[in-house]
Amino acid sequence: MNQLRKEGMPLMEAIHEAGRRRLKAILMTSMTSIVCMLPLLLSNDLGSNLEKPLAIATIGGMLIGTPVSLFLIPLVYWCIYRNDEKKISSKNITSIHP
């Protein structure tokens, strides 16, 4: 988002474009971690009781972390930088109309 903003892209466009570019990578990483931990969670072999908490923690973290990465982080970014966008647009208006 910061790189797109440095290139002159407006705030909302930068957020949407960054989300579009990173969506596939975030989903693939999360899904592979979840799918790889399912055999640990579902197995009943000797010693599997030691591995189940790891699988539960990893799957839970990915299930919570994915929506946070896709929705909450861009929202927080917008909340932080929306005032800067207003300042920039008001400077442009005052420079055009003295």
Q: Write out the chain's pLDDT in tens, 98 residues.
A: 999 999 999 999 999 999 999 999 999 999 999 999 999 999 988 888 889 999 999 999 999 999 999 999 999 999 999 987 666 666 555 555 55
**Distance between CA atoms of residues 18 and 16, nearest Å:** 6
What is this structure's pTM?
0.73
By the 8 A CB rule, do 39 and 54 touch? no
DSSP 45: S
CB 89 within 8 A of CB 33: no
**pLDDT score for 45:** 86
How far out from the chain centre does Cα 44 lie? 34
- What amino acid is encoded at 35 in this protein? V
Give residue 39's pLDDT: 92
